[in-house]
Amino acid sequence: MANDASTVFDLVILGGGSGGYAAALRASQLGLDVALIEKNKLGGTCLHNGCIPTKALLHAGEIADAAREGAEFGVRSTFDGIDIAGVHAYKDGVVQGLYKGLQGLVASRKITYVEGEGRLSSPTSVDVNGQRYTGRHIVLATGSVPRSLPGLTIDGDRIISSDHALVLDRVPKSAIVLGGGVIGVEFASVWKSFGADVTIVEGLPHLVPVEDENSSKLLERAFRKRGIAFSLGSFFKGAEYTDDGVRVTLENGKTFEAEVLLVAIGRGPVSQGLGYEEAGVAMDRGFVPVDEYCRTNVPTISAVGDLIPTLQLAHVGFAEGILVAERLAGLSPVPIDYDGVPRVTYCHPEVASVGVTEARAKELYGADQVVTLKYNLAGNGKSKILKTAGEIKLVRVRDGAVVGVHMVGDRLGEQVGEAQLIYNWEALPAEVAQLIHAHPTQNEALGEAHLALAGKPLHSHD
């Protein structure tokens, strides 16, 4: 395996997704010599198969809904159907623009970018395209792929993953979505907006089960109103082809039939066959365990992003990549508080949160030390204008800081920025209440919720 001075670096990164390229950009900025290796496209899942294309589809769905509902606002509009080729052209245009910008950014930082399938060959080297790239340190950032279940084969035709759903050349007449988490409810929302009949199957008792139960119930209410069906509390048993689609059977005996089945039960790490175990890297169910500084058990190897068992979010990958780069450059980065990471599910209505749920707060602080407040968007002028329903729920420690903010409503994902400051800066309700929020905005609802929690409600009842 060839190796010369041009292939020796301070840092060699295997994987060019969110975590990998963030590590590369920050490390280069701090003066390290960096090689970034990616077998597919720079930007990884988020840019090409996740965050960006799905949100483009969701916005197209929002436009479709607005066309249908124009009369509610005194606008004479009609909905004439979905031009799926046009939708894909719009989506792909967004992705391509960001992709070109990212390529230019990496090139401008003088990062050595290597296209090819890399394999960890030692604790300090990666082999790719017949060349060995040696680094003082290695970062593993190989990401994730859609998961399936034993006995459930994803064929890309009737039984599909989110990757297939992103490029589907038609709007299915009907769809079963297996999994009521973020991926499942977002695609269910898109397809319903596009005109499909959708049923979500979730084995746990609620949709978006990692969110606060109140948020889950609000989303379920909104989905019922939209005509999105869902079955909760019974797990998948099997699937079989019918004459023109697929039939799903649950453990409780219920069956559902549709044109397509979307398997949206989460994403699994990409780690097999890449030399990790041979190089001595500890593994756990395919994930690479790390400490609070993203260090593996091998001193020269760190890991970030979907490969490690933390929140599978692009912005978490960014933060982990930056943390590793700063640590290797000799700085003293602060470990990530994963409870303080903002989380947004971009369905209609949106679900946004930061901090801990009410149930988790009671575990941490004791049930008698947890105080909650719900602020209904019915009291918010901008939400009335937008005709969106929902709530903001605050969770605080009695006589202490706000430890959870949970929001449901159209566009409330845009309010999670202030919510994360409130949580991460350990703000008291009275401190937020004294800040003036612009009127009329949805942001004002966050301010009013804190006014109420501070004991001086304005546009809400005591």
Supply the residues annotated as catalytic.
Answer: 439
**What is the rounded distance in angstroms from the CA atom of residue 352 to the CA atom of residue 374?**
14
Q: What is the DSSP string of 349-382?
A: S-EEEEE--HHHHHHHH-GGGEEEEEEEGGG-HH
| Contact call for residues 123 and 279 (beta carbons, < 8 A) | yes
- Token pair recorded at residue 139: 């970062």
Only one residue has tokens 């994987």, namely: 15
Q: What is the DSSP string of 1-26?
A: -B--GGGEEEEEEE--SHHHHHHHHH
Nearest to 328 by CA among 137, 141, 142: 137
Polymer length of the chain = 462
User: Containing H/E element for 120?
Assistant: strand 119-122
- Token pair recorded at residue 355: 């901090």
- Token pair recorded at residue 57: 């589809």
**What is the rounded distance in angstroms from the CA atom of residue 302 to the CA atom of residue 412?**
35
Task: Count H helices and E strands in the chain, helices first.
Answer: 13, 22
